[in-house]
Structure 1
Amino acid sequence: MSEPRTPVFAANWKMSHGPAETGAFVERFAARHGPRGDATVVVFPPAISLAAFAAAASGRPDLEFGVQDVHTEVEGAHTSGISAAMVPATGATWGLAGHSERRREFGDTDVDVGRKLVRLLEVGLRPVLCVGETLDEREAGRLATVLETQIRDALRPLGREGRARLAYAYEPVWAIGTGRTASPADAAEAHAIIREQLVRAEGCDAERAVILYGGSVKPANIDALLAAPGVDGVLVGGASLDPDSWAAICAAGR
């Protein structure tokens, strides 16, 4: 029998909280959320606030953080781009790849996402591969096809060691920032599809892989979502921007 997976509570601040707001947030959150050894707490601030988060959380090594996105290239003439190689110096240890907003607003393809996973792994960061379907895709009965394609194509350039280091986040695009939330049964169905894909993918440790749910997660629904089969944690957007709300979410399951 496999060991239970350590729950992960991840906050994606997107384009919110500059350096000053980040310092104030961490101070208030840390006062309300004590270290817990049975879960991992990760925050993904905007890149401009990585250093501020590191400074504010310097006394709380239990609060981990990561970068929201990196460029597909190592370096070069890519104005506004952030190389993965630049990130470890901030103290960050995680990185997102394939978030639906990057796919929609910036045209990131599954091939691009795979290249970003490679870059993150090259510098020792732990990637979170985001996958999920749009409302049209869901209503057309394409949930499994979309998830399988996104995972297969993103994993293609990764070796066995890299694949074993990935975490995953299922984010139904129709439930991001809309107030709509997939039911626990919806989340369980999608997570089961993802884990089955990992069983079939060479080099993936399907039993140990952490799969997060992301999409309008709030203090009011966190317990039900965490209780759903196969849900190992959450990737939270809007509700993670308030330190009190985020503390309540991170207290779930204690």
Structure 2
Amino acid sequence: MRKNIVAGNWKMNLDHAAGLQLFAEILNLINNELKGNQEVVVCPPFVHISSLAQLLKANSTVSIGAQNCHHSDAGAYTGEISASMLKSSGASYVIIGHSERRAFFAEDDLVLAQKLDVVLKNELSPIFCIGETLEQRNAGTHFDVIESQLKEAAFHLSDDQFKKLVLAYEPVWAIGTGLTATPEQAQEVHAFIRSKVAEQYSAELANELTILYGGSCNPKNAAELFGQEDIDGGLIGGASLKAQDFVDIIKVFNS
């Protein structure tokens, strides 16, 4: 059975005190307003992970995720963070292949394949991001781009490995721009992704796979997006930095 997941990506925002305050507000609202029909993941900057994990205690409805990790287990990579470090700090998810990592840090499919391997090796759950730019969509190549990203970075995984992934479709043109794919556009791509997973693995695996939408999702459009057949939740950027907005998005699954 598919999980409904809402994951918040704080990106490079909030100092330590502000991060603790926001997380405490989110936990308080979740405890007071949610029934627990979904999983919540909060992905703060690396420096917050351990502290936020300590605040969780027995709250099993919330998990901590990281925004990235290095593709090696250890070594002379100054400034980098390994998957094992993340796990030991309290993370259980890791975002891999976010469009900003692809664009600003030149992460290609070969590197992302290695990252998926090391994340799974360390028993963490990858949130693997795929999606097209505005130029690729306007050129009509968005399906080819998405299929290639899946094949080159993820389709080397075994059935047992792949079923541990959460996929996130993020139309790059709708991230931080205020633009949003229409529910119909998002559903079309989500259905395409699920069909390609079914071709590579099985219909059963594809039907159980959680696929999130990421791209200017907010409390006003979340219900319509999440109401689509193949959209199982969201990877939330800006709205995850406001406790009430983030929880209002999560509450869509309780309505």
Which letter maps to 2:6?
Answer: F
Moved more, 31-40 or 163-172: 31-40
> 2:14 and 2:134 mapped to 1: Cα distance?
29
Distance in 2 between residues matched to 1:71 and 1:93, nearest whole Å: 15
Q: Please name the residue that 1:188 is paired with.
A: 187
Matched residue type, 1:10: A
Comparing 5-14 with 127-136, greater Cα deviation is found at 5-14
Contact 2:38/2:253 (CA < 8 Å) preserved in 1? no
Q: Which amino acid letter does the alignment assign opposite residue 248 of structure 1?
A: D
The alpha carbon displacement at 1:203 in A equals: 6.7
Match of 2:128 in 1: 129
Aligned pair count reads 251
> Take 2:71 and 2:122, find their aligned partners in 1: how far apart are those partners?
13
Q: Distance in 2 between matches of 1:156 and 1:211?
A: 16
| Whole-angstrom CA distance in 2 between matches of 1:32 and 1:163 | 33
Q: Tell me, what secondary structure is at the counterpart of 1:128? A: strand
Q: Deviations over 1:78-130 (max 9, x none)?
A: 11111111111112111111000000000000111111000100010011110
CA contact (8 A) 1:98 1:131 kept: yes
Measured against aligned partners, the alpha-carbon deviations of 1:125-150 in whole angstroms (never above 9, x if no partner) come to 01111000000000000111011000
Deviations 1:212-245 (A, max 9, x none): 0000011011101011220000000001001111
| 1:147 equivalent in structure 2 | 146
| Residues 164 and 203 in structure 1, CA contact (< 8 A), matched pair in contact too | no
1:18 aligns with 2:19: no
- What is the TM-score with the length of structure 2 in the denominator? 0.95
TM-superposition CA deviations, 1:170-194 (whole Å, max 9, x none): 0000000000000000100110111
Task: Map Cα deviations across residues 189-215 of structure 1 (whole Å, 9 max, x no partner).
Answer: 110111011011137811100000000
**Structure with the largest fraction of helix:** 2
Aligned mates of 2:25, 2:239 — CA distance in 1: 15
User: Aligned residue for 1:164?
Assistant: 163
What is the CA–CA distance in structure 2 between the aligned matches of 1:104 and 1:226, rounded to whole Å?
27
State the Cα distance separating 1:55 from its structure 2 match.
2.0
The runs of 5 or more residues in structure 1 that have no matched partner are none
**Aligned equivalents of 1:206, 1:14: Cα separation in 2:** 29
Runs of 4 or more consecutive aligned structure 1 residues displaced over 3 Å after TM superposition: none
Instruction: Please give the secondary structure, in 1, of the residue aligned with 2:135.
Output: helix
Q: TM-score when scaled to structure 1? A: 0.95
CA RMSD of aligned residues (A): 1.4
Which residue does 2:213 correspond to in 1?
213
What amino acid does structure 2 have at the position aligned with 1:30?
A: L
Structure 2: gaps (5+ residues): none
